[in-house]
Chain A
Amino acid sequence: MSAIIEAYGLTKTFGEVRALDNLEFVAQSGRVTALLGPNGAGKTTFINAVATLLAPDSGELRVAGIDARTHPKQVRRIIGLAGQSASVEPAMTGRENLELVARLFGLDRRGAKLAAGDVLERLGLTEAQDRLVRTYSGGMRRRLDLGASLVGQPRLLLLDEPTTGLDPRSRMELWEAIRSLVADGTDVLLTTQYLEEADQLARDVVIIDHGHVIAAGTPDELKGKAGRDVIEVRPRTRAELPAIAELLQVVAAEPTRTDTDTKRVSAPVDGGAASLAIVVRMLDERGITVDDIGLRRPTLDEVFLTLTGQSIGSDSPADAA
C-alpha cells in the first residue's frame, strides 16, 4: 500500500488566521479519503496546497511521492481539480468544455474527442453533450465539472465540496458518479461538511478543525470514538416514559436520557444487540406497547461534537479559507 498524499507539519497563515496549523496526515492510494470539517476548518486551503495553487509556509507535502513545494509542475501532471463552484463555461457545450480541458491536459485533438466522449457517457451526459452548459441544471453542471477534472485521466482527483448546494437527488447522482470512478482505481481526496457524504463515499475519514487533524480512521472507527451504541425507545404514550427509563437502567452503561418533547428515552449500552434483546423481552413482559425501538451507532456529527464540543454545522467565526 502506497501513500498518495503525505502531509507533515503543514502550516499556512493568512494574516492572523492559521488556516493550516501543523496539519499531519497520510492518504493511501486506491481509495477515497474524505476531509471532514466545518466551514473555515482549512479544508479548501489544504486542497489548494495539494493542487499547487498555494504554497504552505512550512512543513512537508508530497503528492505521489513528489514534493509539491519544490516540483509543483510535476504534481499538476497527475492531479485533476474540481473546485467549490462548477467552473465550466456556460456559453460552451458540455462536449466543448471537456475537449478544451482534455486538450490542455496535453491530449491531441483525436485523443481529446475520445476522452470527452468517454467521460460524457460515464457521467450520463451524452444526450446533453451538444447543448450549451447554460441550459444545464445545477446537478448536471457539477457532474460536468467533475468530468472536466477527470478527462485528463489524473491519478489523483481533488474534489472540494463536490455536492454543496445540490438538491438531494443531484447529490445522489454525483455520489454514484464518484463511486464509479473509484471502482476504476482513481485516488480521490474530497472535502465535505456533510457527514453523510463522508460516510457514504469514503473509506478513510480525516476530521479537521482549526487547521489540524483531530481524528482519523474509517467511519466505523470514528463512530466508536464518540462512545457507545445507543438504544432508543419511543412508547405509544407519554405516561410510560418513566417506566421505560427505569427499565433501561438495567442495561444502561451511562445514565439514561428522557426527551419528553420527542417522546423518547435513550440509553448508551455496551452490550449492543444483546442488550436490545433484553429490553424487548422486558417490555413484552410488562405489557408496554412501543411505537419504535432501535439500536443505533453514533453519527459522525456526534463524533465531531464529542471531539470538539461543537456541532459541525455551526459556523466557525474564523471562516477565512
Chain B
Amino acid sequence: MTTTTSTTTTTSADTTGSATHDDGPSVAHHTLDHSNGASFLTTTIGTARRTILQFFRTPQLLVMGTVQGALFLFMFRYVFGGAISTGGAISYVDFLVPGFLVTTVLWTGMSAAAGVAEDATTGVYDRLRSLPIPRSAVMLGRALADTTLVSWGLLITGALGFALGFRTHASFGSIVMAIALMIICGFACTWVFIFLGLVSGSAQAAQGMSMLVIPFSFVSSANVPIQSMPGWMQPFAANQPITVMINATRSLMQGGTEAVGIDHSTGYWVALSLIWCAGIVAVFGTLCVSRFSRTK
C-alpha cells in the first residue's frame, strides 16, 4: 500500500480495523521516558525567565517604561503640585509618591497585557500548549515575571521620588510592609492584565483595553485627596480597589491614617487591600487559567 488515500473504503476499513482495539493509553508505550514533560515548577520558572529576559534585553521596553514614569512623576510634582492641597499634615511630595508608586503597578501592567497578546498571536502560546506541561504553570510563570517587572518599576520610581524630595515618616518595619503590600498588589493586578491580553486578540487591542487603567489611576486618591472631587465622583473614587491600596500604602509610609488625612486605621486599609488582592487573584487567576487551557 503506497497511498494514504481515504477515498477508497478499503484503506479506511483496514486501518480502522487495526486501530479500534487499541484504546488510547494502552498504545502510548513507544513514548520516550523523558517525554513526560516538565514539572509545574520547571515550567513556571522557565516561562517566567523568558518574560524577564525579554524585558531586560529589549532596550525599548526597559527605557520607555522608566522614562514614562519619570516624566509623569516630575509633572505632578512640579506642575500640579503647587495647586494641590493634601488635606493632611504632610507635604504634597510625601502625599504624591506613595500613590504614584501604587499606580505604577497599573502602568507597568499595561505592557504585560500587550506582551501576553503578542505571545498569544505569534504562536508562542500555541507551541507551549502543544507541549506536555501543566498549562496553569505557564500562566503563573507569566504572573510572577510581571510581578518582578512591577517590582523593578517600583524600585526605579521610588528612587526617583527620593531624588525629587520624597521622604517617609514611619518605622523601618512599616516601610517594608508597604513595599511588600505594593508587590502583592502588583501580583494581583497582573492577572487582570494577563486576562486582557488573552482575550484581546492583538497587542494593539490589548493596549487599547488596558486604557481602563486611566480611570482607576486618576479617579483615585493617588494624586489629589478624594474630598476635592465632585460629589458624584467620590463614591467610586473612595471605594475602588486602587484607592484602598493607595490609602494602605500611604498610611504605612507616612505614619498612620491621620497624618495622611483619611478615616479608619492603617490596619483597616491594609486588611481591605489584601481582601481585594485575594478576590482579584481568585477571579482573574481562574479566568486566565481556564482561558489559556481551553481547547477551542
Binding site for B on A (CB under 8 A): 1, 3, 6-8, 24-28, 33, 48, 51-55, 62, 64-67, 70-74, 76-87, 89, 91-92, 96, 100-101, 103-107, 111, 132, 148-149, 152-155, 158, 204, 206, 213, 215-218, 221
Say which size band chain B's interface belongs to.
Answer: 35 or more
Q: Are A91 and B57 in contact (CB under 8 A)?
A: yes
The segment from B24-32, B72-80, B211-219 found at the interface with A is B24-32
Cβ of B54 under 8 Å from chain A: yes
Query: Which of A6, A55, A106 is most buried by chain B, counting CB atoms within 10 A of its CB?
Result: A106
A89, B124: Cα distance in complex, Å: 8
Q: Are A1 and B1 in contact (CB under 8 A)?
A: yes
Q: Which of B2, B37, B126 contacts A83 (CB 8 A)?
A: B126
Q: Are A54 and B15 in contact (CB under 8 A)?
A: no
Q: Mark B9-23, 1 if CB is under 8 A from A, else 0.
A: 001100110110011
Q: Are B16 and A8 in contact (CB under 8 A)?
A: yes
Q: Mark B167-180, 1 if CB is under 8 A from A, else 0.
A: 00000000000000
Q: Are A85 and B38 in contact (CB under 8 A)?
A: no
- Would you list which residues of chain B between 7 and 66 have a CB under 8 Å from chain A? 7, 11-12, 15-16, 18-19, 22-25, 27-28, 30-32, 34-38, 42-43, 46, 49-50, 53-54, 57-58
Q: Are A103 and B30 in contact (CB under 8 A)?
A: no
Q: Are A81 and B127 in contact (CB under 8 A)?
A: yes
| Contact sample, A vs B, 9 pairs, CB 8 Å cutoff | A52-B129, A81-B130, A89-B50, A91-B54, A103-B46, A105-B38, A204-B4, A216-B7, A217-B2
Q: Are A65 and B27 in contact (CB under 8 A)?
A: yes
Q: Are A67 and B4 in contact (CB under 8 A)?
A: no
B208 partner residues in chain A, CB cutoff 8 A? none
Q: Which of A89, A104, A132 contacts B131 (CB 8 A)?
A: A104
A217 partner residues in chain B, CB cutoff 8 A? 2-5
Q: Are B123 and A106 in contact (CB under 8 A)?
A: no
Q: Are B295 and A104 in contact (CB under 8 A)?
A: no
Q: Are B130 and A218 in contact (CB under 8 A)?
A: no
Cβ of B296 under 8 Å from chain A: yes
A100 partner residues in chain B, CB cutoff 8 A? 46, 49-50
Q: Are B130 and A24 in contact (CB under 8 A)?
A: no
Closest residue to A70 on the B side, CB-wise? B24
Q: Which of A6, A55, A216 contacts B5 (CB 8 A)?
A: A216
Closest residue to B50 on the A side, CB-wise? A89
Q: Are B11 and A26 in contact (CB under 8 A)?
A: yes
Q: Are B24 and A89 in contact (CB under 8 A)?
A: no
A27, B24: Cα distance in complex, Å: 18
Q: Which of B2, B28, B43 contacts A77 (CB 8 A)?
A: B28
A78, B132: Cα distance in complex, Å: 9
Mostly, the B contact residues are helix
Further contacts, 9 of them, CB under 8 A, given A51-B126, A54-B296, A55-B295 = A24-B6, A25-B4, A26-B11, A74-B31, A78-B35, A81-B126, A100-B50, A104-B42, A106-B38
Shortest CB distance B131–A (Å): 5
Shortest 8 CB-CB contacts between residues of A and residues of B: A24-B6, A87-B123, A83-B123, A65-B27, A81-B130, A91-B57, A216-B5, A54-B296
Cβ of B133 under 8 Å from chain A: yes
Cβ of B199 under 8 Å from chain A: no
Shortest CB distance A72–B (Å): 7
Q: Mark B111-144, 1 if CB is under 8 A from A, else 0.
A: 0000000000011101111111100000000000
B49 partner residues in chain A, CB cutoff 8 A? 100
Q: Are A78 and B31 in contact (CB under 8 A)?
A: yes
A129, B48: Cα distance in complex, Å: 22
Shortest CB distance B176–A (Å): 32
Q: Which of A7, A79, A84 contacts B123 (CB 8 A)?
A: A84
A91 partner residues in chain B, CB cutoff 8 A? 53-54, 57-58
Query: Which of B4, B5, B58 is most buried by chain A, counting CB atoms within 10 A of its CB?
Result: B4
A152, B129: Cα distance in complex, Å: 15
Shortest CB distance B166–A (Å): 33
Q: Are B127 and A83 in contact (CB under 8 A)?
A: yes
Q: Which of B4, B126, B131 contacts A206 (CB 8 A)?
A: B4
A155 partner residues in chain B, CB cutoff 8 A? 30-31
Q: Are A53 and B6 in contact (CB under 8 A)?
A: no
B42 partner residues in chain A, CB cutoff 8 A? 103-104
